[in-house]
Structure 1
Amino acid sequence: MHDHGVCLEMLYQARRRIAGEAVRTPLERSASLSARFDADILLKLETCQPTGAFKLRGAVNMLAALIEDRGREALSAGVVTASTGNHGRAVAHAASRLGVPALVCLSRLVPANKVAAIEALGGEVRRVGASQDEAFSEVERLVSERGMTLIPPFDDPRVVAGQGTIGLELMEDCPDLDRVIVGLSGGGLLGGIGAAVKAIRPACRVTGVSLSRGAAMWESLKAGHPVEVEEVESLGDSLGGGIGRDNRSTLRLVREVMDDHLQVSERAIAAAMVDILEQEKRLVEGAAAVGLAAIEEHGLDVRGQRVALILSGNAVSLSTLDRARALAGR
């Protein structure tokens, strides 16, 4: 096992735990994008998860692992997390399915549609502060004072292993994949997918895509330690937030498995969101469109390659989509 704590065996254990809760999502070839880039462009449709995003995999795996290890009674005080939305939805959904109370702390920046979605799944929402880090301080208080159990959004090997089941599916559905392009913020998604892909097919390139502003992982990788950055509003709001001051696993893991790292502008994200809606008839949030945005904005030469883009989630409101269309000039 590597020092970041995620090995292939953990990924297969995660797959066993999440079966029946998180779905095995389709990997579809995009005819229009394949023609545009003279490549095989494959779309991994995490938008098909019951909660609309990949986060369900990690939340279910961590909760199921905790119940296996400690028994359900140990979680009677409930589970708690901080989230920009999709992880909160995943925890609320997984907890209700597994019969455990859940509380989600959100910053005031999180859009109202995401708050409503968490509450609809039976999770209790508490809004605190103007950043992920402030919301996380409230989580720490609830853990120490009320004995709640933290379900971290990304920085835990059990969460990472859950997201890594996407990598297992990619390798089974397309064993000769040349490159996978993954949105990157906290590193749970890219770290998990990268751990799977590099263990099975080391030649496959893992490309991370961060926002051009407010990208904590980008700054942290450059500095060699966790760096806090100011959060800014973005179409790719799911890629905002810090990586945690005492990041234990994802910073190391991302450094180990990622081959290249690109940043994308708001305009590129907007154009990619509109493209995916118009060409693929799929509604995706900004964070799910960054793979296409990166190919376009950086002119990535993918000719003749098999490339998987992770369409990570569909939590987008019509007003955000209107903003994207205006910015893309469409």
Structure 2
Amino acid sequence: MLLTQADIDGAVGDLSGVMRRTPMIASRTLSERIGCDVWLKCENLQRTGSFKPRGAYLRISRLTPEERVRGVVAASAGNHAQGVAWSATQLGITARVYMPTGAALPKIAATKAYGAEVVLEGTTVDEALVAARRYAEETGAVLIHPFDHLDIVAGQATVGVEILEQLPDVDAIVVPLGGGGLLAGILAAVKPRRPDVTVVGVQAAEAAAWPRSLAQGHPIAVTAMNTIADGIAVARPGDIPFAHVSRFVDAVVTVNEESLSTALLLMLERAKLVVEPAGVAGVAAIMSGAVDLSGRVCVVASGGNIDPLLLSHVSTHGLTAAGRFLTVSATVSDRPGGLIALLELLRDLGTNVVDVVHSRVANGLELDEVAVTVSVETRGPEHQREVCGALSEAGFLRE
């Protein structure tokens, strides 16, 4: 159940010249914010936009000629789907991918563009995986599991190999955690060579199967998940990843949705990197204080495939969480100049008005009053407090 050094060396050799050696980028913003030397391992810049092709290509490339003829099948919310589709096409093998009905449209389109047949089934990756297993049993197609296979974990281990080569004096590595293939691979590559390196897995709090599983000593499925980080929304840890994680990991922590959106916004604004919610879980962990580290820290940005519509929504949520976007409900006089007085005050306070909704029929209004919901851009939490205080003092806000 555990990778050997020979397994990892073999993966490095087989993937050489196929996978990109993704960059390791220093982040001054994160370093200053958390007080240690932070570097980003940019797997969002890997082929197909995530680390997934490492394991998918390795697994598919090792199929026998008889297996290749039968084709491959997979289940994924998007990143593994694209990794399998791209890898199978590169190797001249047919691929079918089952995706949840709610999968992001750009991920569905990309998977098709990479050459796979896409079938939408189920509402979660786990339900799609049931359909993929059934198809494999009926047709003989080889199931390419997203994380629960030694070749998959070995492929992901090459990320850990690169981290040690690019940042040889690394003190800690923070890794997004879903089914566990990436974390297991990094642990297998790093811990035998550098047992002193702290390795931390990060889950979305609304899809966190690992903490309870580790406490009980075996994989346990969660019954419900609700997170923007669809790439790590996996109900049950894989058996093979669990064997590695339970033996080697130093800690597994969780982050909430607000932390994920704030981290995504920071990556866009300051690092100039497009990273999906699952991919910023590690950044969210160090920004929110979910994990306390020191020295030289590598955070893996595991993927960058995000629906533009979700990006817009998450960016707005992140701006709100960061104190950069404020919506207030004010009451103004239903007389000429009533609304202007509110807007002029907001102007004088240095805000930028984004949206105004004007209503005469809101509950609790007097005959000569109007309810106004106004959204403004602000400079941060302190500025928001200043704005709210001034609006309250001027009589626009009611208790």
Does the CA contact (< 8 Å) of 1:231 and 1:241 recur in 2? no
Structure 1 runs (4+) greater than 6 angstroms displaced:
none
189, 206, 213: which is aligned to 1:213? 206
TM-score (norm 1): 0.93
297, 315, 318: which is aligned to 2:305? 315
Aligned Cα root-mean-square deviation (Å):
1.4
Does residue 289 of the first structure (1) align with residue 283 of the second (2)? no
Report which of the two structures shows the higher radius of gyration computed on alpha carbons: 2
54, 73, 87: which is aligned to 1:94? 87
175, 178, 181: which is aligned to 1:182? 175
1:138 corresponds to: 131
Does residue 279 of the first structure (1) align with residue 270 of the second (2)? yes
Matches within 5 A, 1:75-224: 75-224=68-217
Distance in 2 (CA, whole Å) between partners of 1:262 and 1:97 is: 37
239, 242, 258: which is aligned to 2:249? 258
State the Cα deviation string for residues 255-292 of structure 1 (Å, max 9, x = none). 11210111000000000000011001001001111111
State the Cα deviation string for residues 196-252 of structure 1 (Å, max 9, x = none). 1101110000001011112223332233222222343322110102236xx431112
* Structure 2 CA distance for partners of 1:295 and 1:51, relative to 1, 3 Å: same
Moved more, 318-327 or 51-60: 318-327
Q: Which has the higher strand share?
A: 2
Distance in 2 (CA, whole Å) between partners of 1:80 and 1:47 is: 24
Q: Output the amino acid matched with 1:159.
A: I
Does residue 38 of the first structure (1) align with residue 35 of the second (2)? yes
Q: Output the amino acid matched with 1:62.
A: R
2:386 corresponds to: none
Unaligned 5+ runs, structure 1: none
3-state DSSP class of the match of 2:297?
strand
Distance in 2 (CA, whole Å) between partners of 1:41 and 1:73 is: 47
Does the CA contact (< 8 Å) of 2:67 and 2:141 recur in 1? no
* Structure 2 CA distance for partners of 1:299 and 1:144, relative to 1, 3 Å: closer
Distance in 1 (CA, whole Å) between partners of 2:116 and 2:226 is: 25
Identity of aligned residues (%): 37
TM-score (norm 2): 0.77
Distance in 2 (CA, whole Å) between partners of 1:12 and 1:129 is: 37
1:249 corresponds to: 240
Moved more, 159-168 or 111-120: 111-120
Q: How many residues align?
A: 320
Using CA pairs under 8 Å that are at least 6 residues apart, name the structure with larger relative contact order, 1 or 2: 1
2:315 corresponds to: 325
Does the CA contact (< 8 Å) of 1:217 and 1:242 recur in 2? no
2:383 corresponds to: none
Does the CA contact (< 8 Å) of 1:273 and 1:285 recur in 2? yes
1:61 corresponds to: 58
Distance in 2 (CA, whole Å) between partners of 1:289 and 1:80 is: 28
2:229 corresponds to: 236
